[in-house]
Amino acid sequence: MNRPRDERYLSVMFVCFGNICRSPMAEFVFADMAQKAGLGDRVHAASAATNCEEGRPVHPETLKVLRAHGVRVYPKRSVLLTPDDAERYDLFVGMDEYNIRAMRRILGEGVWDRIVKMGDFTSSPRDIADPWYTGDFDATYADVSECAAVMLQKLFGEEINESKDK
């Protein structure tokens, strides 16, 4: 995967179906990990939906799991992914194959090289299960956390290791 257009800064958009469970979980986890790694001023995380009623709050169970793990959360309501986002974000991270196909359709061919599946960052590529259907928010959190940590390491490994050595 290529580094962002501006080597000093990464703007990443996490995307799922409704933007109330998986993608906000990924947004909050990735932003929290980046902050704790000393990269808070270099990373901007956001999330959106391929299909949703705009303005819905983050699912209460998502917030409960995040807070239980000490992840910083902030007010968030669902938004739709739009073609204009292609100009605003460096990287688009989908939760499953359905989302990847929808993101390609919404964003257009010129962005396809910046669309990745979150589960593909690990050594065991997979879709991130939707807790809306599984009811298992803890399992989704475990997957999202693992993938976010690997993603952060792959994108900013040298900087993270340098800050730990100081």
Q: Which domain holds residue 99?
A: 14-159
- Band the pLDDT of 164: cuts 50, 70, 90: low
- Asked if pLDDT for residue 101 goes beyond 50, the answer is yes
CA distance 49 to 154: 25
Number of separate domains in the chain: 1
Which residues are bridge partners to 117 per DSSP?
A: 94
Say which CATH number the domain at 153 has. 3.40.50.2300
CA distance 19 to 52: 7
- Band the pLDDT of 160: cuts 50, 70, 90: low
- Among 66, 77, 75, residue whose Cα is nearest residue 32: 66
Which residues are bridge partners to 165 per DSSP?
A: none
- Classify burial at 54, counting beta carbons within 10 Å of its beta carbon; exposed 0-12, middle 13-18, buried 19 or more: exposed
- Band the pLDDT of 126: cuts 50, 70, 90: very high
CA distance 61 to 38: 28
**Do 95 and 75 contact (CB within 8 A), yes or no?**
no
The tens digit of pLDDT for each residue in 13-61 reads 999 999 999 999 999 999 999 999 999 899 999 999 999 888 999 999 9
Q: Which residues form the catalytic set?
A: 16, 22, 130
Q: Would 164 be classed as within a structural domain?
A: no
- Asked if pLDDT for residue 165 goes beyond 70, the answer is no
Higher pLDDT, residue 145 or 1: 145
